[in-house]
Amino acid sequence: MAHLVEPAPVVLRLALRPSRRILAWPDVPSRYQVLFKLCALNGFRIVTDPKEPHDVAFHFEYRVQPCRFPSDKPTVNRDCGDVSKRRVAEVFEKVFGYALAVAPQSHDGAMVEKPNGNYTFEGRILHGPLRQEDIDPDRVYERYIDTVVAGEAVDLRTPVYGQEIPIVYAKRRPQSGGLKDHTSAKICDPEDVYSPSERDGLLMFARELGLDYGELDVLRDRKDGRIYVVDVNNTPAGPPQQMSNAEIATALRMISPSFERLLDFVAERDSARPVAHPGKAARVPSE
């Protein structure tokens, strides 16, 4: 494992007597992803064949397509289909009551243009209003959020586990750098980062999106003081590689109780609702 070496007893328990079996489908989490690490830390076994016995399933898909989820077990992120930038902006405005998205043809000032899909780190700052012929329908246009403090931009990577925000990573990058050029990250207490109403809003946002498990990219505008959710990752890596091995191990231990409560929460929730027999009912993500 890249950042966490497990003691022999944990590895042995994982291999011979896992306390839970976790189906990850249709994609397989890599050893760099937090789901893999938390399962190893807790002695859970990840299985990838829906026909294998399992206790809880994760809808774990890098690029979500309409699918028939093949498990009738409690499923994390079963209802989380569309986490595109456009959908994120729509849900954000509905929950928080103020907008991230802008109309590029009428917005007067700085804006950010970026692809609508996930797993892209492109983006550029433009100044509006734009001519209609310069607007790309496959991209989204959002307000420019100034997070720069002492020459560095600050991103608040915020994990969500069911009804909890167990931890926040404050990631810093040079003001002139790209979206991936973080140079440092530190663990923060959510209560030190967000107000109670902001934490409630972020959890409500996740519920509205159908996100049981994932990470939110949150920015706080230093001018108006408001927070903005600019991206959602439902198959997160982490903890951030900019932290030391000891800090990463600490973060995993801090998250682990929330991870177990997430599994219990989903099991209780899904036991109270009818679940279609595997392969019979299609769940189509929102457009």
pLDDT tens digits, residue range 106-165?
Answer: 999 999 999 998 766 678 999 999 999 999 999 999 999 999 988 899 999 999 999 999
161 and 193 together in one domain: yes
Question: Whole-model pTM?
Answer: 0.87
pLDDT tens digits, residue range 4-14?
Answer: 444 444 444 44
Q: Which domain does 32 fall in, by range?
A: 8-79+249-271
Answer yes or no: is 159 within a domain: yes
pLDDT, residue 105, reads 97
**Is residue 206 scored above 90 in pLDDT?**
yes
pLDDT, residue 118, reads 72
Query: Among 179-183, 209-213, 274-278, which is the least confidently predicted range?
Result: 274-278
pLDDT tens digits, residue range 224-274?
Answer: 999 999 999 999 998 999 999 999 999 999 999 999 999 999 999 998 776
**b/e per residue 91-129 (b: at least 16 CB within 10 A):** bbeebbeeebbbebeebeeebbbbbbebeeeebeebebb
Number of folded domains that form the chain: 2
C-alpha–C-alpha distance, residues 151 and 271, integer Å: 50
pLDDT tens digits, residue range 98-108?
Answer: 999 999 999 99
Pick the residue with more confidence: 190 or 287?
Answer: 190
Answer yes or no: is 221 within a domain: yes
Answer yes or no: is 238 within a domain: no
92 and 187 together in one domain: yes
Answer yes or no: is 1 within a domain: no
148 and 215 together in one domain: yes
Answer yes or no: is 2 within a domain: no
How many of the other CB atoms lie within 10 Å of CB of 286?
Answer: 13
228 and 97 together in one domain: yes
- DSSP letter (8 states) at residue 174: E
pLDDT, residue 14, reads 46
191 and 56 together in one domain: no
**CB distance 269 to 163 below 8 Å:** no
47 and 118 together in one domain: no
C-alpha–C-alpha distance, residues 246 and 3, integer Å: 9
Alpha helix segments (H runs only) across the chain: 8-16, 34-42, 85-96, 190-193, 196-209, 245-271
pLDDT-derived band at 178, boundaries 50, 70, 90? low
pLDDT tens digits, residue range 37-67?
Answer: 999 999 999 999 999 999 999 999 987 665 6
C-alpha–C-alpha distance, residues 145 and 102, integer Å: 12
**CB distance 249 to 41 below 8 Å:** no
- Minimal CA–CA distance to 176: which of 150, 151, 201? 151
132 and 99 together in one domain: yes
Residue with the two structure tokens 């607007």: 135
pLDDT, residue 276, reads 52
Residue with the two structure tokens 């989820």: 69
pLDDT, residue 117, reads 82
CATH code (residue 103): 3.30.470.20
pLDDT, residue 121, reads 64
104 and 171 together in one domain: yes
53 and 103 together in one domain: no
188 and 137 together in one domain: yes
Provide φ and ψ at 285, rounded to 5°.
Answer: -60, 155
